[in-house]
A and B are shown apart, each in its own frame.
Chain A
């Protein structure tokens, strides 16, 4: 089955700096790669996703890149703000409802 590895497990940045989280996946059949933000006591919230026919996608301060050959994808957050502090999860799937998740990255943005 699919295996997703996520790094780093914790990330601390100064407000205004950029943050990068990286994931690798094992199943070449995976074609859907969402990123979720999870705040304490809440369910994961989709922040951006990318499909395998696209190499990069951007939404305001958030961008995701995908390298299908190397089987890795990354989340980039620019101009970080304290409210960006949360746990971020990457996921990979060949079916949107059966995602395999990474173990998460705890992002702390220091004011």
Chain B
């Protein structure tokens, strides 16, 4: 059984650019959630995908968007990057049931200059 993987590990972008982050879910999991973790804070929920459909969204603007693919891997896209977007982006996979645990990947560290 493979764990959650994310790519790239680190990324540096400039303000106004666009970025795509990738996540492969744990084997057998059909739900992926994305979180933003600013330095010194807890992860903040961005959105969740279940079977290729968005299944809930946190308080993030529309320039944060995502996709889930038939193999349940996922992408997070951020357009028009702002300095405040600098953070660790985490994805977590789980089964669809609300009683199931989510497992986090190592994260992608995004720096916006």
Give min CB distance, A36 to chain B, whole Å: 8
Query: Which residue from B4, B32, B102, B103 sits with its C-beta under 8 Å from A99?
Result: B102
Cβ-closest chain A residue relative to B104: A43
Pick the residue among A43, A89, A97 that contacts B33 (CB under 8 A): A97
Residue of B nearest to A6 (CB): B42
**7 CB-based A-B contacts, threshold 8 Å:** A34-B102, A43-B104, A96-B98, A96-B102, A98-B48, A98-B58, A101-B42
Q: Which residues of B contact A (CB under 8 A)?
A: 4, 31-33, 40-45, 48, 50, 55-56, 58, 90, 92, 94, 97-107
| A42-B106, A99-B45, A101-B42 known; A32+B31 contact, CB < 8 A | no
Instruction: Show the binding face of A for B, using Cβ within 8 Å.
Output: 4, 6, 31-32, 34, 36, 41-46, 49, 51, 89, 91, 93-104
Inter-chain contact A32/B99, CB cutoff 8 Å: yes
> CB-CB < 8 A to B56: which residues of A?
95, 97-98
Q: Which residue of B lies closest to A43 (CB)?
A: B104
Closest A residue to B41 using CB positions: A103
In the bound complex, do residue A96 and residue B94 qualify as a contact, i.e. CB atoms below 8 Å apart? yes
Instruction: Assess A94 versus B98: contact at CB under 8 Å? Given A43-B107, A46-B103.
Output: yes
* Contact between chains at A44 and B101 (CB < 8 Å): no
A81 CB to nearest chain B CB (Å) = 23
B33: chain A residues at CB < 8 Å are 97-98
CB-nearest residue of chain B to A44: B104
In the complex, chain A residues whose CB is within 8 Å of the CB of B44: 101
User: Would you give the shortest CB distance from A90 to chain B, in whole angstroms?
Assistant: 9
By a CB distance below 8 angstroms, the chain B residues around A6 are 42
- B101, B104, B107: which contacts A96 (Cβ < 8 A)? B101
Q: Are B99 and A44 in contact, with the CB atoms below 8 A?
A: no
> In this complex, what residue of A is CB-closest to B43?
A101
Is B105 within 8 A of A104, CB to CB? no
Closest partner residue, chain B, to A51 (CB atom)? B99
Chain A's nearest CB lies how many Å from the CB of B26? 12
Cβ B42 vs Cβ A97 within 8 A: no
Q: Which of A42, A93, A98, A99 has the most CB of B within 10 A?
A: A98
